[in-house]
Chains A and B, each alone.
Chain A
């Protein structure tokens, strides 16, 4: 839904970009930290963990992929309803 008020639309899109940047920044940090920790622990314990490392890869993949898709859904929902529910007034 769009309005006939360009100033309001501009403000809303700016605020939406703020929400997007926040979530994308946190997702980037999540991927970086999970990758670093997984790499450091598995590389030090590879003699033991090498037999079942795929368990870690599967679950870290699930965490990151589901969370990333979830965040995209949150953004899509905010974008769809921001004018209807006047989120940023």
Chain B
């Protein structure tokens, strides 16, 4: 018996380690840089709380995504879940949010790769190197998803192992640490800092939900998605705790809060060449892995939007030889270049976080709707049954809204812009698809009719309304 549905002709070859590589590959860069803004807001204790609160939210989100991804087995991920279980307006908003989240992150990663390359070879210029990185990763993703994610696996594994070795060497006393930094920078801005630090907590895990977006290309999605995603989530939790400890005992808090490459700087402060080289390489590789994963996920989101005519269906073509959504992949390039050279990198990254948080409200909401519409647990409908649902879905929504509200401090206009952008998308696509008679063809997916549809159909027949 096969669990694969005929949907397009994307090749179904990915395994759990590819899912792990996609999820962790995108996110690990956030542990090499970016997370340390939590320290600037709330000190070491604020950063620790932000790491744990965001970690709790992401554990719950990843369980929701595992259940939804292994059930639907579609490339659009959060977009397809919202389309199937919520409605067209929410689907379009979340589809665009995923696209923007990943493509903004890709642009930021490519710029950082270019800056690192320039710091090693001063004769290089940032502009052409950024272009080269974006073009090269687009080409790799154009050629095939297996090659792209196998590359991601090795890049990510090297970067993660570098953190693990550095941590254990430090924990077992091979490196001189400064425990007094922990107390000196414990809570510089008082209790309000604890709350303010939450806004950068997602940096530790931002994008892990994207691991489920390769479900349509997995050989056995009902095993690969939950296993790969949960392994990825544990990897990130371990990496986040190790990173926070290493940087907090090796870099003074006032410098840690503004550091560009905190893990690399921690390695430099250790004075051990092996760690300096390993963490420098890790910083470089994790940026490439993140950008590579972002090309993969953003193109799948655009492909899914195109397949359902939310954007031009021209983008939904699948390459006859490489079985990739090649037009959607190529289209990531001009958009990423536009973001990269907008000159507002911090704004781009903040927009990425706001887009991600919007997804973190809609993913658990999609799961709640999924459970209401399809309460039965069968191999076809729900091969992986997530635990503690729907309670953790409600809890995840509450944490996501709390973190979103903390962005009001310092990013008020970004937040308003994000709401306006996705609000317009919601109402535009709700209106556009309101008159559409197309309904989700559950039978084609091998699913029964959703709960309540029989009653609705009978009611229409009694009233003599044509469908």
Residues of A within 8 A of B (CB): 19, 22-23, 26-27, 29-30, 33-34, 36-38, 40-41, 44-45, 47-49, 52, 55-56, 59-60, 62-63, 66-67, 69-74, 77-78, 81-82, 84-87
Contact = CB atoms under 8 A, between A and B. Distances in A.
Contact of A73 (B182, B242, B386): B386
Contact of A70 (B59, B186, B235, B245): B59
Contacts of B49: 55-56, 59
B187 interface: yes
Contact of A77 (B3, B226, B249): B226
Contact of B63 (A23, A40, A47, A66): A66
Interface of B: 1-3, 44-45, 48-49, 52-53, 55-56, 59-60, 62-63, 66, 70, 167, 171, 179-180, 182-183, 186-187, 191, 194, 220, 222-223, 226-227, 230-231, 233-235, 237-238, 241-242, 244-245, 248-249, 379, 383-388, 392
10 contacts: A34-B237, A34-B241, A37-B245, A45-B45, A63-B55, A63-B237, A69-B387, A81-B223, A85-B2, A86-B220
Contacts of B234: 23, 26-27, 29-30, 67, 71
Given A26-B235, A26-B238, A70-B387, A63 B56 contact: yes
A73 to B, nearest CB: 5
Given A23-B231, A69-B387, A84 B171 contact: no
A18 to B, nearest CB: 11
B388 A45 contact: no
B62 to A, nearest CB: 8
Contacts of B53: 59
B183 A77 contact: no
A45 B182 contact: yes
Contacts of B387: 66, 69-70, 72-73
A71 B52 CA distance: 19
Contact of A37 (B3, B244, B392): B244
Contacts of A66: 56, 59-60, 63, 387-388, 392
A34 B245 CA distance: 10
Given A26-B235, A77-B226, A45 B44 contact: yes
Nearest to A69: B387
Given A30-B238, A48-B45, A59-B49, A85 B182 contact: no
Given A69-B387, A81-B223, A41 B230 contact: no
B56 to A, nearest CB: 5
A36 B249 CA distance: 14
Contacts of A81: 222-223, 379, 383
A70 B52 contact: no
Contacts of A34: 237, 241
Contacts of B383: 77, 81, 85
A41 B248 contact: yes
A15 to B, nearest CB: 10
B52 A33 contact: no
A60 B182 contact: no
Contacts of B223: 77-78, 81-82, 85, 87
Given A37-B245, A59-B49, A69 B388 contact: yes
Contacts of A36: 171, 245
Contacts of A48: 45, 183, 186-187
